[in-house]
Structure 1
């Protein structure tokens, strides 16, 4: 101890000093403003990022490494083997090749719907709340109408009126986006009404800044965590919605998605025949993708709701305190 004290000029901190440091929160440098906009690394966030990253890589690179998903062979409805890792369908098509192309199609639909729904909700929610007056009332009425109408029946009705030969990825993405923006718009409207009355926003308006610049520079940065959360939720809803439409035969007939895989597996009596390798991979892929996005969304919620982050920090400090107290007792 004498050597340590002579080298550092002070005695090493004991358990009592460590407890005091934890309680005061000392030893932590203030984080930059941009870092506060990012979710805190947690096991849940890392797990979600690994799951989503793996699925995206599989959907992007997988179709380049597998064969033609529509190629028919004379080995029909066979289980996994060295030649066909995930078996074959009733007509001898390779399930792994179908899964790779279907994952890419579902990811593309999810991304398109996420972008379109976020843009629509931002326009009707943020712009309408900032402008106020008749525009805000009209936008609120429109979003309320979409909220009152049940989502899935509306999607089924709209998809039913679209000719089968015209139902591609873009058509399904537009249909899903038009029916999934209203709830996000209501949340963004409430957040914008809170932000637009702050002093720095009022100062920008008084100084003569244009509406689009005030929204982009002063209001939008404060809503980025909410927008990110709404985007993630829109992607999850889009993939599940597309799978439901495809299972009912109303999906993208000219494209391959996870929903179309389940549709053809159901029509091919995969479940009664015990061909689990046909319907289980696409269903598991949808479940894993939804779980990964949900874990990421939980981490984003900590930015939107500081109470969640504070509760996690309290639990972390409690564990540190218990560990130091145990160390003091044993020493």
Structure 2
């Protein structure tokens, strides 16, 4: 019972510390705002407004009372596109991060726990992914992905399987530090197997690190989705912030002076990425006492 109470006390103390962190709370409020806008997008803006055959505005019209963020070349509301595009961008970012965190955590723990050929092979695999430039690898995989796989699913898989290496590296280092602690030696002496050691002793101790790194990985995944969509490798049937920017670039929004077509989706990407980074930095300060006061 005392162990359970101590765990609850640590979680409660970490939450209170996060509430006192101005940077973390500012980022959290921004994320809550964008999350609500994405969830309420069908209520705030009719999805029919994304259909080019039902566009009601003038082509490339600046912001007005009728269209608060202006229109695109089809006469569609940029506000409608940004609201609905946030659903896809956030979905891809979060889903890809889940895949990345699972792969990074499993490979990191295994490479730090096992010695010999198994641990060495996993460590070399992690280093290989670290050395190869992340974005070009994602572009290549997105290009060669089977055509019969839904594009949105393909983008999630591509981002997830190319962004786990940094997490694995951090988890491996933490695992090796935990392996040297006395209670791990005691578990081995009492006959605890590899699965018992990794799940009951190592995993709970690396989860705070994984949690802090998750918020930083989401921002990377969102940037990757925006980049792939901007390059025309995203789902052409779904609106996203990257696709809005791709349409604006291909239609010469800069030359036509349609700044609203580029600024508003671009600002949305910057704010969400910055908010996740702010939350991640706050969690790092809370979970790592060495960063306290910096």
The TM-score normalised by the length of structure 2 is 0.89
Gaps of 5+ in 2: 1-7
CA RMSD of aligned residues (A): 1.9
CA contact (8 A) 1:125 1:186 kept: yes
- Whether 1:285 aligns to 2:261 is no
DSSP 3-state at the match of 2:192: coil
Is the radius of gyration larger for structure 1 or structure 2?
1
- The within-5 A match list for 1:146-295 is 146-162=129-145, 166=149, 168-295=151-278
- Partner SS for 1:85: coil
Name which of structure 1's ranges 151-160 and 188-197 shifts more when overlaid on structure 2. 151-160
Alignment partner of 1:92 is 2:51: no
Deviation at 1:251, TM superposition (A): 1.8
Q: Distance in 2 between matches of 1:46 and 1:303?
A: 13
- Check if 1:50 corresponds to 2:29: yes
CA change 1:255–1:132 in 2 (3 A) is farther
> Distance in 2 between the 1:212 and 1:64 partners?
48
- Residue 116 of structure 2 is aligned with which of 97, 111, 133? 133
Q: Take 1:119 and 1:127, find their aligned partners in 2: how far apart are those partners?
A: 12
2:41 aligned to which of 62, 72, 82 = 62
In the superposition, the TM-score normalised over structure 1's length comes to 0.80
Instruction: String of CA shifts for 1:180-213, please: whole Å, max 9, x gaps.
Output: 1112111110110000221222222333334333
Unaligned runs of 5+ in 1: 1-30, 313-331
The runs of 4+ residues in structure 1 deviating greater than 6 Å are none
Distance verdict in 2 for CA 1:165–1:101, change over 3 Å? farther
Secondary structure of 1:32 counterpart: helix
CA distance in 2, matches of 1:47, 1:213: 40
User: Take 1:301 and 1:263, find their aligned partners in 2: how far apart are those partners?
Assistant: 35
